[in-house]
Amino acid sequence: MLFHHALPNKTVIIGAGGHAKVIVDILLHDPHVELVGCIGHDPNANVLGLRVLGGDELLPELLAQGVRHAFVAIGNNARRHALCKQAEALGFELINAVSPRAYLATGVTLCQGVAVMPGSIIQPDTRIGSYSIINTGATVDHDGNIGTACHIAPGCHLSGNVTVGDESFLGTGVSVIDGMHIGEGCMIGAGAAVIRPIPSYSLAVGVPAVVKRTLLQK
């Protein structure tokens, strides 16, 4: 008896910078994905050998050619969020990029367009919202709730029952104690230790983390 395997999903990477490089590296190892190229500003460039096809104006044409899947590989949270919504509105299905060297425990929920980098650990019953990044070596412990278009930077460690609001950025090496709530649109400076709740649209830095100012809301 012959078994017919489904063809890999033709997928375009939206973005062509350093973050895209890590995403391409992950997806090159995914047998379910066939990368067709990147969307970026320099059509003469390439990302790990993957050609930059041109700008955003090519997306409808790619869709018409049968490229139905995309991954938005942009580091800036607000920009990534907007581009993900645009790609979905055009008709693309956003895939996840999950490194085989990450650990996802039982009961983890990943929404659409999520990046999970090598060395990261996501513990049981944690939810990662759409378009979010769990970067290299970051850990999110049990019962976490990471919102939409967040970025948990390399080496962050979130204890159990931590909530992070939409579009918040936790810089490299941030530590968060059990049960903390970080609001939406926050920026937590590198190396900070969050031991108190952080209100939405706050810039917080230091050990322990202290709110320095309120950020502009969209």
**What pLDDT digit, counting tens, does each position of 30-80 carry?**
999 999 999 998 888 889 999 999 999 999 999 999 999 999 999 999 999
Kindly report the backbone phi and psi dihedral angles of residue 16, in degrees, each rounded to the nearest multiple of 5, phi listed first.
-145, 25
Structure token pair of residue 143: 């019962």
Segment 181-187 shows an average pLDDT of 98
Task: Note the pTM of the prediction, 2 decimals.
Answer: 0.94
Name the burial class of residue 38, with classes exposed (0-12), middle (13-18) and buried (19+) by CB atoms within 10 angstroms of its CB.
buried
Question: What stretch(es) of the chain map to CATH 2.160.10.10?
Answer: 98-206
Question: What stretch(es) of the chain map to CATH 3.40.50.20?
Answer: 9-95
Looking at the DSSP bridge assignments, the partners of residue 170 are 152, 188
Which residue is associated with the tokens 């590296």? Answer: 25
> Which pLDDT band, with edges at 50, 70 and 90, does 2 fall under?
very low
Indicate the fold that domain 98-206 takes in CATH: UDP N-Acetylglucosamine Acyltransferase; domain 1 (2.160.10)
Could you please report the per-residue DSSP string of 123-172?
A: -TT-EE-TT-EE-TT-EE-TT-EE-TT-EE-TT-EE-TT-EE-TT-EE-T
Which residue is associated with the tokens 């969050």? Answer: 194
> Which pLDDT band, with edges at 50, 70 and 90, does 218 fall under?
low
Residue 3's pLDDT is: 41
Q: Of the CATH numbers 3.40.50.20, 1.10.340.30, 2.40.50.100, 3.40.640.10, which one belongs to the domain with range 9-95?
A: 3.40.50.20
pLDDT at 93 over 60: yes
